[in-house]
Amino acid sequence: MEPAEWNGAWGACGGGSAPVCLGSQKVEQRMGWQQSLPVLEASRIRTIYINDPLKNIFCQNWISTAKYSLWSFLPRYLYLQFSKAANAFFLFIAILQQIPDVSPTGKYTTLLPLMAILTISGIKEIIEDYRRHMADRLVNTKNTIVLRQDSWYSIMWKEVNVGDVVKASNGEFLPADMVLISSSEPLSMCYIATSNLDGETNLKIRQALPETADMQTNKQLANLTGKIECEGPNRHFDTFVGTLYLPGKSPVAIGPDQVLLRGTQLRNTQWIVGVVIYTGFDTKFMQNSVKSPLKRSKVEKVTNLQILVLFTMLLVMALVSFVGEVLWNKQYRATIWYLNNDVSYHSFAFDILVFIILYHNLIPISLLVTLEIVKFIQAQFINWDEDMHYKVNDVYAMARTSNLNEELGQVKYLFSDKTGTLTCNIMTFKKCTIAGIMYGDSEPRDTPSEEFSQSSPITDSCEFNDPRLLENLKNGHPTESYIKEFLTLLCVCHTVFPEKDGTKINYQASSPDEAALVKGAKKLGYVFTARTPYSVTIEAMGQKCIFEILNILEFSSNRKRMSIIVRTPTGQLRLYCKGADLVIYERLSSDSLFVGETLTHLEHFAKEGLRTLCIAYTDLTEEEYQWWLEDYKKATLTLHDRIKRIEECYDKIEKKFLLLGATAIEDRLQARVPETITTLLRANIRIWVLTGDKQETAINIAYSCKLISGQMPRIHLNANSFEATKQAITQNCQDLKHLLGKENEVALIIDGETLKYALSFEIKRNFLNLALSCKTVLCCRLSPLQKAEIVDVVKKNVRAVTLAVGDGANDVGMIQTAHVGVGISGNEGMQATNNSDYAIAQFSYLEKLLLVHGAWSYFRVTKCILYCFYKNVVLYVIELWFSFANGFSGQIIFERWCISLYNVIFTSLPPLTLGIFERCCSEESLIKYPELYRIPQTGETFNTKVFWIQCMNALVHSFILFWFPAKMLKHDIVLQHGYTTDYLFLGNFIYTYVVVTVCLKAGLETMSWNKFSHLAIWGSISIWLVFFIIYSRFWPTLPIASDMVGQADLVLICPLFWLGILIVPTVCLIQNVLWKSLRNTYRRTFLEEVREMERNRVPEVDISKMSGRRATAASLDMVFENNSVDLSAPRGYSFSQTEQSVMTQEELVRSYNPGRNQSKQSSNAAFTDIFLE
């Protein structure tokens, strides 16, 4: 695992040059309440003293992704809780109830439930944040090796300080930003994998300064003194300005080629030594982070809005009651003798407060704690799901927050990283075409053939399996010579370095494509065995051959090819070339064969998403080569446009090629990625790929994932100016005409440079309209901030839920910006998962996370919310109806603790079972019919209209529940022993009917009955009746409920009570039963049809016959009138190689020392001995 980074809560800071320090932050900054992180000025100069940590007082290397600390928990938690409208309202009510003679419901009937809610919510927050702290601890306590007090020590990452000398070994992630001092490699260079930061798959080269390159021994490093002056912390990955001052030497400039960033991985290098320059929040990755906003689900926002509306309704009810009181007093107070007419009227404010307290339970206080419990258990269902258990690494899915469960069911736009998220970042040699014959179509065999076993064992970088190739090679097939030359080229034309470990050969390469080709040739019997600065040795079917390396014609994005000039074992001068089909084909000789067949095969490979390279060669004469060599030497000495002159020189000799064939490399996808994407597309989820990798690579992966089909037009936006970008976007919008704004079978491909202009204020809206009109969007060469920016643009301008998924540090920004962030715990470490809302091990797990857990959570949460509002409106609006009978005196009809326990006990179980166990349909149906996901996605089951329909239904039920019993008892009754009834007698009638009605209503809302549903519904009714009997006998044994004494005996023996318990709930619910039956009969939804299929065990439902079930992309009847649209068949070219590095590929080859392995091992052994001592 590599370092987890965070966006807001950083390590403790000191003074010195660091302008951001916890000790000087405002309280809001300390608690992470800021909306954006401060960007430190790059112009601020930082002075770092080497091997003198006491002089370097900067931010520590400790990071955190947690929401709370020990000291900030209570104030921040209370702030966040009371920022919710409902909690703030109930706190206001609890304070009002403490005022004497104001509350008709007692002092503690709101305060105690509120404290219980805050306690339960706090426990849930502590549990979730504890997990974040544990994840942070795994990172902060990782070990690294640091030179202190003339000895090497193993310390934790969080203990690394600026100015420390750190040593890292091959495969390790770097704990901080540092300047390279020396390395185990020739010329003090090293390879680093930066896919964690920029998404690129090829390795980068860094080189130490000559002044420090020889400092490798313990004594030399311990005596290293001096200082580094450099720019202050900033977010620019590719730039660095600094100066190294060593005693007795001239100052030396330091650039980005000497800087190793936190989060990068050391590769193909035994060890490096560096001086730490930035730690913690000051590292360049942390500077690229964005502050994670406080995320609230769409459902929660709708609910909060309705709570505000209900509060307004409550005020209206209070105002109506006050007016009613005034009118009633004017009409009746003087004539009713038993009222004390000497008592003066209360003030307006006093009476309004009384009525607000009387009706305040209209807003359900239990809703918040119910939702907390429901969501927490839903999160555990995600955590326990065995279908999302990645058994290879024993990693379960993890809900890092439970507040967004229902948001998983409403995702419309999915933004995905490529490297490590869709792909495994493993290149495999899959297929090839040689002399017009395609190889690699055979099914894999369990046991390799004898020919294969005689060569090298199968490697991870080769899945090629076609015995025909070796058969043609051995049996004298007419294409035998072409096959030999083809495999020879794969072994010779590259910059791979072989390292022998006993009898095993390990290939080290900056280009994963080249490594895959060399390993593929090895499997086919052509083994690259050795390299010297000026030769390559191969074993061709057991025969040793040595090729003299004369020149390497380097790869670049402009050239799209790489060539090598060699002298063969027979003395022939030959130029081998591999590259894109376009550049190879235009340089083919007229004598070249198999041109058409190879092109057809290339298109076939491309449609499968394979990365293709054309393979060709040409023979050179001595005179021709010598003439070119003179020209080449002149070009290398040119001061003006040297690179351009060299490439022009390359072009002069790369001609008259003879085509051998083409290779097809697979950038291996994670398991079931194409199937998952197909399912998500059927669920009406639009998928955008945001990657830092090259455009060609992204396109190939899009074909592999089935995001792009072979015939789909591709709009390429590659502009280098604002005007060009504006013109291209405008023209494409005009070409779409009336289809603009609709989903079309078009792919949009844009690079980071063009996106910078496209997101400018003037054309951002047009670009967004164009992007939203395309079925697929690929954004390439993006920085981490650009990823976050494009997610933010869609999030703010489109009324839809966004989800971002990624696995690397460069994905953290977009994960935090999206409504829902999903981190994949893959090869690129834990940064993404530690900053995500949900963590999974494989991209394919999104299918179940969204379609099953998301849909279920949405239905459960929304039903729970609607039901909680329903049952509260039913009971507490009865107080309003009672006001018409009691002269608006503020008198309550129910006993005060019965009012408080209504939500806490008597009706608490039905919403819990709805929120935890409800299922709209089975898991199998949700996966089989992804179209069902559109129901929660569109929000048609929970919106303002649905909410108020439910409230109006509750209003009608409350009317029936009050006035029917009131009319039954209108003329009063005389019970046994001459007892007469009082208001509580009527209240207990009504209260019982309410409990029965709302519990039965929960049964009508239940779509998936189980034992918990029965227990909740019938158990709640039973609990109330048992409580009623016991509670009416509390007094005088317990000094409470004196007015409830004997009420159960009076009520339960009354025949009218038992008659009403049959009639009143039936009258309330009969309308709901009729409406549900009519709707399911005449306006049946797709969901109802699937449920009926499940009941009848029908194997299939014909979706095509369902009107409006699947929205298809609009057919294209437009004609594109600009050259940015590619309508041609794909060719699949893609090649990863380091460009414009500190060292050219030829310099690397020329500096290679074949005898370095033994010295490396000796050096490592010596270092280990020193460290152990």
CA distance 488 to 484: 6
Q: Write the burial class of residue 142 (CB in 10 Å: 0-12 exposed, 13-18 middle, 19+ buried).
A: middle
**Residue 417 annotated in active site:** yes
Task: Show the tokens assigned to 178.
Answer: 């540092």
- The distance of Cα 513 from the centroid of its chain, to the nearest Å, equals 28
SS3 909: helix
Relative to beta strand 774-780, strand 744-751 is parallel
8 A C-beta contact, residue 844 and residue 676? yes
Q: Which amino acid is at 1070?
A: I
Helix axes 1011-1031, 983-1005, angle to 10 degrees: 170
> In degrees, to the nearest 5, what angle opens at C-alpha 1161 toward C-alphas 1158 and 1167?
140
- The distance of Cα 1028 from the centroid of its chain, to the nearest Å, equals 51
Which residue in the list 129, 164, 177, 417 is annotated as catalytic? 417
DSSP 405-468: TGGGGSEEEEEE-STTTTEEEEEEEEEEEETTEEE--SPP-SS--HHHHHSPPP-TTB----HH
CA contacts within 13 A on the Cβ side of 725: 23
Task: Show the tokens assigned to 612.
Answer: 């293709």
| Sign of the torsion formed by the C-alpha atoms of 909, 915, 916 and 920 | positive
Taking every pair of Cα atoms in the chain, the longest distance, rounded to a whole number of angstroms, is 131
CA distance 802 to 688: 11
Task: Show the tokens assigned to 1165.
Answer: 């052994």
CA distance 897 to 985: 16
8 A C-beta contact, residue 1051 and residue 1024? no
Q: Which amino acid is at 15?
A: G
> What are the phi and psi torsion angles at 668 (to 5°)?
-55, 125
Nearest to 9 by CA among 82, 79, 73, 80: 73
CA distance 373 to 377: 6
> What are the phi and psi torsion angles at 938 (to 5°)?
-85, -10
8 A C-beta contact, residue 46 and residue 230? yes
| Sign of the torsion formed by the C-alpha atoms of 19, 20, 24 and 25 | positive
SS3 267: strand
Cβ-Cβ contacts under 8 Å for 143 (sequence gap 6 or more): 154, 155, 156, 157
CA distance 829 to 841: 11
> In degrees, to the nearest 5, what angle opens at C-alpha 412 toward C-alphas 758 and 851?
150
324 sits in which H/E element? helix 298-328
SS3 778: strand
CA distance 473 to 500: 28
Cβ-Cβ contacts under 8 Å for 477 (sequence gap 6 or more): 471, 483
Nearest to 669 by CA among 427, 396, 324: 427
Nearest to 915 by CA among 372, 363, 116, 114: 372
CA distance 602 to 703: 13
Put residue 18 in one of left, alpha, beta given phi > 0 → left and psi -120 to 50 → alpha: beta
Distances (CA, A) of 43 to 10, 22, 175, 233, 1119: 22, 22, 25, 9, 51
For residue 507, the cross-strand partners are: 498
Enumerate the active-site residues: 417
